[in-house]
Structure 1
Amino acid sequence: MMMNLFSIFDPSTNIFNLSLNWMSSFLGILLFPMIFWFTPSRMTIFWNKIFITLHKEFKMLIGINSFNGTTFMFISLFTFILFNNFLGLFPYIFTSTSHMTITLSLALPLWLSFMMFGWINNTKHMFAHLVPQGTPSILMPFMVLIETISNVIRPGTLAVRLSANMIAGHLLLTLLGNTGNSLSTMLISILIITQLLLLMLESAVAIIQAYVFTILSTLYSSEII
């Protein structure tokens, strides 16, 4: 409660026992434009190397006939999924990529846009893609049916793959963590080590699943050109 007008300048003002009065002195650093930083930070160089590597790989997968700037869309998708996967590893933060609402919202519009573009602009190519080369004539109707079904379920498989992998690891961490109250000191030490190893595994899964989702989306887009 503010007792007088000058109490807002009181250095002892705090929230959750954290003194926040001097934070305003550091907020300006966040607002500096990049031109004021003469040399890029190591973090910037690190991310630039990742983006360049992803750009080269996506460009190779999509092909030389792709539109300019297509790879940046997939790099943005990779970054978005990666950050959401990692945020879910922190306590009390909901993992949005473990929910089908988010994963389907990412996969379904991508797949629909690929299909609309392919069937409108490359109709013959899309029909030819339904029958793999060298298929016997008697099997062609079945191959068309199989290829159609596999094509239709692609957004679902993308969404379920990402959400299921995110849920599985977090669920295992939660179940193991809830058993700690009933364990002895020796078993708790083993449990902590196990949790740390699982956390490292989940960090790797967060990267791999973001990469897999983006690579598969890239491969699906390369089939329509």
Structure 2
Amino acid sequence: MRDIKTEIINTTKQIGDLVFFDVRNDSDALFAHFGVALQGVEDVQLMESATRTTTSSRKYLNGLAKCIEQGVLDGGDLTSWKLAKEKGGRLFKAEFGGSYKVFEQRPIPKEVISYCVGDVQHLPKLWSKFRSNTNRWRDLVNEETKKRVEASQKPEYQPLGPDRTLAPWSKEQNKTLDEWNYVRPLDYFDEDGDLDFNEDDDWADDGPTSCRDIINSWDYDYYYSD
């Protein structure tokens, strides 16, 4: 008989850090069914949230589809991905008359396999995209990810809780993220309020303006004829 717990633990040891998108329910399932307590997790959902520039923009978390739309897929590829997710979801989501028993079928329906593949196939790209922007914030992301894992292992954990869409950042964390994400606007004025530019500025005047620059050639004779 297969020892699922041992297989999972051995696999995680080989992989090292684990990448999830919203680790909470996955962690809950692994802990409740197999006694596996995840460690070394990187949560892409929190990584994406940390890249946003203001506290107000970080209030709500983005779902997987929203993150994938941010430069990972577009056009026909995005449409195909969404269609596969929709077809698979209808087989087990109660609002569409589905049931989770579909996961017990053998062989597993192709639509369900495609749905599951869609959950993870673009995580490497998302991880690379957001990680390149979150080196400074890695400790904050790791701290909140660890809290997510710990909360998911408690008996009172609610997989469909009302606050799941809210970002976890505290007031102090948001202040820190605001400072790190701040982009200073371009300032073309000096301390005295005068224009301050040099010859390298791409908008600098390239010479005196001629009347021919602002008057159409066919009107020039009309305005400047004898």
Which of the five TM-score ranges fits, normalised by the shorter chain? under 0.3
Larger radius of gyration: 2
Tell me the TM-score normalized by structure 1.
0.23
Determine which structure has the larger helix proportion and give its number: 1
